[in-house]
Structure 1
């Protein structure tokens, strides 16, 4: 395995695990981040130790100007893009202001579409490419108090299925991963009692690990998954299946 991979939201829990797995397998990395500068730079030093090239790019993908900034920073041929940037809002839909709704749609749905649109022509010309979307279980079943997040993740799932049909003739595969509850910084806001209650709802009896999500990414990039296209892999431990 080799080539350049763009990972958005690289500094997060799932994103950083994906980047470590990619670097171990010889992929050069474009590490996108928004606010987590220290984590992003630490991650860059960590993956460089595997002997790969890296490029660090800061951009706010909830702003159209941020998407343009990221795209203008890309000067190398990119074989794979992993859309991992995401942001959630916890609360009633009626309590959300219009600006928050617009930013969530831009970050979680519009920017992945525009980034993919920008990268596709070169992939098509080379006759190869992979687009992987990190979605969510809520994109399939929906969640109260996360209405917009559920909606945009559902839109991403349909984006995967539709784009796969367009891109397949050019040997480009488009797939997604829909994690359930995974051990990331987002879970730190839960009390121990809440976490135990959540684990009781999951048939596996535990939260997912970020490394497990990274392993699914590596499978989707490998020849072992060469006939998988337009698919959303549920990684929930049996929760909400």
Structure 2
């Protein structure tokens, strides 16, 4: 029977591409989304009935929202991909406590709690895969994105540490760090800013969501069977 993969943040551009890619690879998929029901319905129409394990709306910006989500989803998954997240851009001293809490919950506490939810089953079957989508800014840091860079960096540390802890149980944990990707998150950039940014990238262009999805598919596949605790940079050389 095909493997089951839970995709967090499936309605975003990267999550959408990851879902389509994994379905093509034969995975059965369960989807989490926050608000974009129309996009999830469009995605569901592209998934064969036998491979669709349901879509669940959940607000992961609070502990209560994460707990409510965990109460309605199975613990039995062979793979989990964390694609969810949102950007906060501005001067660090202007951030509110609420904005800090939202970034922390979505990018850190949700992966912690969801991983804890699925790990007992993975340990029982002596197999499993967890992949997190972090960011180049989690490695390098970015002005005006201080808190975002912080939680993305913490995701990388989480992956490195957890991979060591669960490797004896046959579970692999890895992280992808995209550079600039052509998603709605970057719509705030003017054409001039976008051209300048792409000019800094050695490959001369932004990445596409499908290219991130391909990297994630690789990390979930048997082709990467000896890869764990790895930071896969998908950034065009930036």
With normalisation by structure 1, the TM-score equals 0.96
Residue 52 of structure 1: how far off its partner (Å):
1.4
Which residue is equivalent to 2:161? 162
Instruction: Structure 2 unaligned segments of length 5 or more: list them.
Output: none
Which residue is equivalent to 1:85? 84
Which residue is equivalent to 2:129? 130
Which residue is equivalent to 1:23? 23
- Mapping 1:1-241, distance limit 5 Å: 2-48=2-48, 51-75=50-74, 77-239=76-238
Q: Deviation digits for residues 137-180 of structure 1, max 9, x if unmatched? A: 00000001111110001000000000000000000000000000
Residue 93 of structure 1: how far off its partner (Å):
0.8
CA distance in 2, matches of 1:175, 1:64: 24
Contact 1:2 1:25 in 2 (8 A): no
Instruction: Structure 1 unaligned segments of length 5 or more: list them.
Output: none
The secondary structure found in structure 2 opposite 1:81 is strand
Change (3 A) 1:166 1:229: same
CA distance in 2, matches of 1:39, 1:125: 35
The secondary structure found in structure 2 opposite 1:143 is coil
Residue 75 of structure 1: how far off its partner (Å):
2.6
Residue 76 of structure 1: how far off its partner (Å):
5.9
Select between 120-129 and 68-77 the one with higher mean Cα deviation. Answer: 68-77
Contact 1:4 1:76 in 2 (8 A): no
Contact 2:75 2:117 in 1 (8 A): no
The secondary structure found in structure 2 opposite 1:189 is coil
CA distance in 1, matches of 2:125, 2:64: 28
The secondary structure found in structure 1 opposite 2:143 is coil
CA distance in 2, matches of 1:31, 1:73: 12
Residue 187 of structure 1: how far off its partner (Å):
2.1
Select between 161-170 and 52-61 the one with higher mean Cα deviation. Answer: 52-61
Q: Which runs of 4+ in 1 moved over 6 A?
A: none
CA distance in 2, matches of 1:190, 1:151: 22
